[in-house]
Structure 1
Amino acid sequence: MNRPPRDDTIGIILKGYPRLSETFITNEIMLLEQLGLRLHIFALRNPGESKIHENVKKVRAKVTYIPDYFWRSFFAIIGSNLRLWLRQPGTYWTAFRFALLRSLRQKSSSTIKRFSQAAYLVERCLDSTPVAHFHAHFSHGPTTVAFFASWLTGIRYSFSAHAKDIYLQEPVFFRQKIHGAEFVVTCTEFNRAHIEKISSATTPIYRAYHGVDIRYFKPSFAHGFKNELPVILSVGRFVPKKGFPVLIKALKILRQKGFSYQAYFIGGGPEKEKLEALIARLDLNDNIQLLSKMCQKEVLEYYRQADLFALACEVQEDGDRDGIPNVLVEAMAMGLPVVSTNISGIPELIAHEENGLLVPEKDPEAMAGALIRLLTDAELANRLARAGRAWVERDFDNHKNIAKIGELLSRVLARKPLAQELSAGPRSAVAPENHAKAEQRTFTFSTEPVE
């Protein structure tokens, strides 16, 4: 069903909306709208979170929820798929066969589930909400839906790849999704290089840092600590890749060496009970407080009261890792001296000894040593904090960085060739050659998964 686009609306496909842990996506949508782009959100799930970011209220885009739990919406999903099959049996069958074979070979229902959601989106939603282009966030489920929606309609798509979705994804299908896309955006140069190694296509792959609103995150530099008892802050979901056990062990070393402090970990997540048990076992209940996830306005107050920020990110055995954690950018924007690990894209944000300190992953002694340096050297802490703020202003202003994504989307809508690279600071990445192909791109899909 190669239906011509009847609108200039971009369909944004998300795994869930709104999500407190994906504030950067809300900010991107809001800023793209401010640039004049018309958006409609297709969310694969309603997270139903009790707290939402204040910028959600500023987003004008309507939200359509695509059924995620088949047992709740079985007849609606099956009905949409049957009607679409009757309307375009050939296209539907080849796409369905691809999804079915892939699910059978992977021994997982994920691909056929995403295909069914794409068919529902196409049959149920696009007549009332026509779109000219799809853009998905995260290269696994949401991009799979965009991939099949494009197959079923001929509407082009692009996607943003972030972290876990890149490194835990089976590379063959990932390569096919890259090949079908108009362009790919990712949030670190480390990710961009990794995706280029996977891809055999000439699809342009760009790096655009998420960034933060530097007008919202305003520092209040102080010489020395703000608190009589130094406050160490860490923010992130309580999941293994954030490395909270390492940070807890580092804080135990600090206390053994006679340092007094108060630490706050803001996050919440599946590892909370394990972290509480470790804190109790190390007799740190008086020093470390675990706090539930908060909206950005609430976290901002903790940034203002903190003296240091630490995040002990690590790479998991299955490859899961962060890109550049947004909380590190926020902390640096707030003028906090930061300590983190030298993995993934973090060294693109933190230049060791220039605007922060980096230590090896999974090394409590090294993390403790870096924290002690900042606790005992006010000149160093102040210098790194000021340099960190300047670094964020230069390369991580989200208004500037999202404008680059807006330019890409605008050019795709206008069928104009894409630039070879996004204008950026000195760390800009050169995108692949042969990008001026938007007008010539046609979508062809093999009916069988590639082995």
Structure 2
Amino acid sequence: MRIAFIVGQFPVLSETFILNQIIGVIDRGHEVDIYADHLINTLKVHPDVENYRLLERTYQLTQIPNNLIWRVIKGLGLLLVNFHKSPRFLLESLNVSQHGLQAASLWLMYSAISLMHKQAYDIIHCQFGTQGYRGMFFKNVLHSQPKLIVMFRGHDISRYVQEHGDRVYDEIFKSGDFFLANCEFFRQRVIQLGGNPERVAVHRSGLDCSKFKFIPRQLNADGIIRIATTGRLVEKKGIEYAIRAVAQQAQVYPQLEYQIIGDGILKEHLQTIIQALNAESFIKLVGWKREQEIIEILEQSHLFIAPSITAQDGNQDAPINVLKEAMAMGLPVISTYHGGIPELVEDGVSGFLVPESNAEALAEKLGYLIEHPERWSEMGQAGRAYVEQHYDIHRLNDKLVQLYQQLLETDNLAVRSQPALMEPSHP
């Protein structure tokens, strides 16, 4: 099979869940091209980007201006420059009688520019709902009429819908062949917005558990308790509340060290809070780290906090990968009743869940775990077992390829007739 993955940015260190799917499909013998709205120039890339030479398979999408006048002007320039390269293909993308508004608006022509001289695809897989329209244009302009899969992951089914209205995906639901959500919470949201329940399945974002060594946690002889958080420094990660919770408990238990791995627009704001709490000696913003660097920090940690909240713009999280990684390594976790996270963390078993935006509740559960290190090992074992059972990337990639194959074999794949594609929600 030939698969085109459409993404927003590439390569992005924090989006290993996309990378895992791409290399999983390649490992299973299929050809992959990657189309990105934006190519990221960075010295820090995941090793697999280099190992699989993925940048050689990656193409930047021709940007489509929102302003109609500028879209026409830029489009005419692109047409003049590229027409001789593939005249028939470009003329077909402008066929209003066949494609209607998609052609008249030049959306198809812009997509055709990105696809000139490319071989036919069997599958177009949009990694976020926000790429769904581009996937729809790809499908309509290609003679092969590939199957279109759109996956919803978080901001695309929360913040984006709040900004653009609950009809924003209507055309995609008509054109797409199958839809995936990375948790049951977001699957239900897709259905509420108009997705056919028979063509919407849960496909979890997995990880390679073999890369994350399980370590039973126990109190060290030096008495220091090391806490970690990994995530972008943005509102929905709720890191401010974890900072306040750790600072509060440090007044009772001074031997705490808290490392926050990540970067983002709230870095200065969070640093100001740390300074105001006189916590600079034990709470550190350590910036972005490569996967192996993160693993090394987590190996030395005892507890993990992921205090996600619903941002003011409506942005929400699925079961986040950093929580899965921490649980796979045997860390007891503290997180929140937020988005799809309760499908991953079982309260009182693999860790604790507290209400969103509640530093006091976070501090209370943190205090409990500090006082009861004898529970760390059992919670860590429960977390590891759950991640192995439900989030193993190899099994999930097998299911993804199985889905591709089933889509190519039938014109009307339905969840109810393919129960193996569905993942149960958390009990």
Q: TM-score, normalised by structure 1?
A: 0.83
Shift of 1:155: 3.4
- Which residue of structure 2 lines up, in the alignment, with residue 41 of structure 1? 34
1:150 to 128, 134, 139: 139
Q: What is the distance in 1 between the residues matched to 2:116 and 2:74?
A: 20
Task: State whether residues 178 and 203 of structure 1, in contact with CA within 8 Å, keep that contact through their aligned partners in structure 2.
Answer: no
Aligned to 1:449: none
Where 2:211 maps in the other structure, the secondary structure is coil
| Contact 1:30–1:58 (Cα < 8 Å) also in 2 | no
Aligned letter for 1:146? G
**In the alignment, what sits opposite 2:110?**
120
1:148 maps to amino acid: F
Secondary structure at the aligned position of 1:268 is classed as coil
Deviates more, 1:372-381 or 1:226-235: 226-235
2:48 matched residue in structure 1: 55
Q: Deviations over 1:78-101 (max 9, x none)?
A: 54797666334224552144xx5x
Residue 86 of structure 1: aligned partner: 91
Q: Alignment RMSD, CA only?
A: 2.5
Q: For 1:52-451, what aligned pairs fall within 5 Å after superposition? A: 52-59=45-52, 62-68=57-63, 74=74, 77-79=78-80, 86-87=91-92, 88-90=94-96, 91=98, 93-97=100-104, 100=105, 115=107, 119-140=109-130, 142-153=131-142, 154-167=145-158, 168-169=160-161, 170-199=165-194, 201=196, 204-225=199-220, 228-415=223-410, 418=413, 420=416, 421-423=418-420, 427=424
Which digits, 9 at most, give the CA deviation of each residue in 1:34-67, with x for residues without a partner?
2222211112210112211112134366222223
**Gaps (5+ residues) in structure 1?**
1-7, 101-111, 430-451
- The whole-number CA distance in structure 2 between the counterparts of 1:389 and 1:425 is 22
Could you tell me how far apart the structure 2 residues matched to 1:197 and 1:155 are? 26
Q: Following TM superposition, by how much is the alpha carbon of 1:125 offset from its aligned partner in structure 2, in angstroms? A: 2.2
Equivalent position amino acid for 1:54 in 2: P
Deviations 1:203-239 (A, max 9, x none): 6111011121111111121433486311100000000
Question: Take 1:78 and 1:227, find their aligned partners in 2: how far apart are those partners?
Answer: 68
Q: Matches of 2:182 and 2:357 in 1, distance apart?
A: 24
1:432 corresponds in structure 2 to none
Matches of 1:56 and 1:314, distance apart in 2: 31
Show the counterpart of 1:103: none
> CA–CA distance in 2 between the matches of 1:81 and 1:319?
41
1:308-334 Cα distance to aligned partner (Å, 9 max, x none): 100110012221111111000000001
* 1:395-432 Cα distance to aligned partner (Å, 9 max, x none): 11111122211111122233475353453798359xxx
Partner-residue secondary structure (3-state), 2:168: helix
Q: Does residue 15 of the first structure (1) align with residue 8 of the second (2)?
A: yes
Query: Which one is further off, 206-215 or 411-420?
Result: 411-420
Distance 1:27 1:249 in 2: 34
Does structure 1 conserve the Cα–Cα contact (< 8 Å) formed by 2:201 and 2:422?
no
Matched residue pairs, number?
A: 403
Give the whole-Å Cα distance in 1 for the aligned partners of 2:117 and 2:222.
Answer: 59
Q: Compared with structure 1, are the counterparts of its residues 200 and 18 closer, same or farther at alpha carbon in structure 2 (3 Å cutoff)?
A: closer
Q: Is the 8 A contact 1:239 1:270 kept in 2?
A: yes
Q: Partners of 1:162 and 1:386 in 2: how far apart?
A: 27
**Amino acid of the structure 2 residue aligned with 1:289:** K
Q: Secondary structure at the match of 1:427?
A: coil
CA contact (8 A) 1:42 1:66 kept: yes
Asked if structure 2 preserves the Cα contact closer than 8 Å seen for 1:404 and 1:422, the reply is: no
Cα deviations by residue, 1:371-394 (Å, 9 ceiling, x for unpaired): 111111012222111111111111
Partner-residue secondary structure (3-state), 2:43: coil
Distance 1:203-1:155 versus aligned 2 partners, 3 A rule: farther
State the alpha-carbon separation in 1 of the partners of residues 380 and 209 from structure 2.
15
